[in-house]
Homo-oligomer: A and B are copies of this chain.
Amino acid sequence: MFHQRLNANANANAYAALAAAAVLLLGTPSLADTHLPSWNDSDSRNAIVSFVERTTTLGSGDYVPAAERIAVFDNDGTLWAEQPAYFQMLYMFDRVKELASEHPEWHDEEPFASVLKGDYRNALAGGTPAILKIAMATHGNIDVAEFDAVISKWVAEARHPTSGRPYIEMIYQPMLEVLQYLRANGYQTYIVSGGGIDFMRPWTERIYGIPPEQVVGSSVKAEYKVIDGKPVIMKLPDLNFIDDKEGKPVAIHQHIGRRPIMAFGNSDGDFQMLEWTTAGDGPRLGVLVHHTDAEREWAYDRDSHIGQLVRGLDEGPERGWVIIDMKNDWGQVFAE
């Protein structure tokens, strides 16, 4: 039985190997040409390609062994859009409405009352405490399997308020190509996001090719218990970790345990992640997506309430960081 299987696999593998050998001996076009078609010929594209070539060329002074080719990506505003509000915030509003029938008290209790009236501005007027209250009510007191199902349903059904598209289609085609290009060159691609780790994991593998174990994010505490003989992991309404600003290098250390050599972000929430990444020895690349395209996407930076980018623009260039000019560097913005 085992030998039968092995031989069946062996034949399939052998033919695949022969085919691969034939392709390789005949030569292939440049990986960068194949993998980054949505990028205009630009300094930012060339900096990324040059870095990948240098770090993967045996004998190059900048060669990096495959095990250390770690690239980290912010999510909101870097891999998918974040306007007019973080998509996870929009999920929370939808979820509050869904749960309202179980919580009659919410009709008289802020910030829930405002959310239920659709007055999101007023709901958020309470600042961080209000947001945390909504976040805990929509992320806690649920077991992880059920939360996974809730999020999977939401990303399948919910629609972006201005584009009318599913949120998981509001992802940047050029960044998707960078992810694939890096992986084709032996890089591991991690998400390191201020967003919720359990909010992202149900869909990142299908959408970005990034498996759950390579997703790092903010989290609530969790508790293991056995209920009627069935073990469950319950998400608690109790903040565990905020993966933003100084939290990002810490989360990278705790989850990955090595310093990345490439980091991609778009806001000052990513500053420390790029700083930590690019301060190491050897070849390093920090990249910021600058939202400059009011027609195809949004244009915002220094004064934005979401994805504010000040320090990155001021200090990034002198630190050698690449600033992507979305309007001019990207031939296409969103994935089809």
Residues of A within 8 A of B (CB): 1-3, 5-11, 13-15, 17-18, 20-22, 24-25, 27-28, 30-32, 53, 56-58, 67, 70, 144, 188, 197-198, 201, 205, 211-213, 215, 219, 222-226, 230-231, 233, 240, 246-247, 249-250, 253-258, 272, 275-276, 279
Contacts and interface: CB of A to CB of B under 8 A. Distances in A.
Given A2-B53, A21-B21, A222 B254 contact: yes
Contacts of A205: 67
Contact of A17 (B17, B56, B201): B17
A65 to B, nearest CB: 11
A246 B224 contact: yes
A198 B20 CA distance: 40
A75 to B, nearest CB: 15
Contacts of A18: 17-18, 21
Contact of A24 (B11, B56, B249): B11
A50 to B, nearest CB: 9
Instruction: For the complex of A and B, list the 4 residue pairs with the smallest distance between their C-beta atoms, beginning with the closest.
Output: A212-B257, A17-B21, A14-B24, A10-B24
Contacts of A247: 224
Given A14-B21, A17-B24, A28-B6, A253 B233 contact: yes
Contacts of A32: 2
Contacts of A233: 249-250, 253, 276
Interface centre among A2, A212, A250, A257 (most CB of B within 10 A): A257
A231 B14 contact: no
A3 B30 CA distance: 7
23 contacts: A1-B53, A2-B30, A2-B32, A2-B53, A10-B27, A13-B21, A13-B24, A14-B21, A14-B25, A15-B21, A67-B211, A201-B257, A213-B257, A213-B258, A219-B254, A222-B254, A223-B250, A224-B249, A231-B249, A231-B276, A231-B279, A233-B250, A255-B255
A255 B256 CA distance: 9
Contacts of A276: 224, 231, 233
Given A213-B255, A233-B253, A6 B20 contact: no
B31 A6 contact: yes
Given A213-B256, A231-B279, A233-B253, 14 more contacts: A2-B32, A10-B25, A14-B24, A17-B17, A17-B24, A21-B21, A201-B257, A215-B257, A224-B246, A224-B250, A224-B272, A225-B246, A226-B275, A230-B279
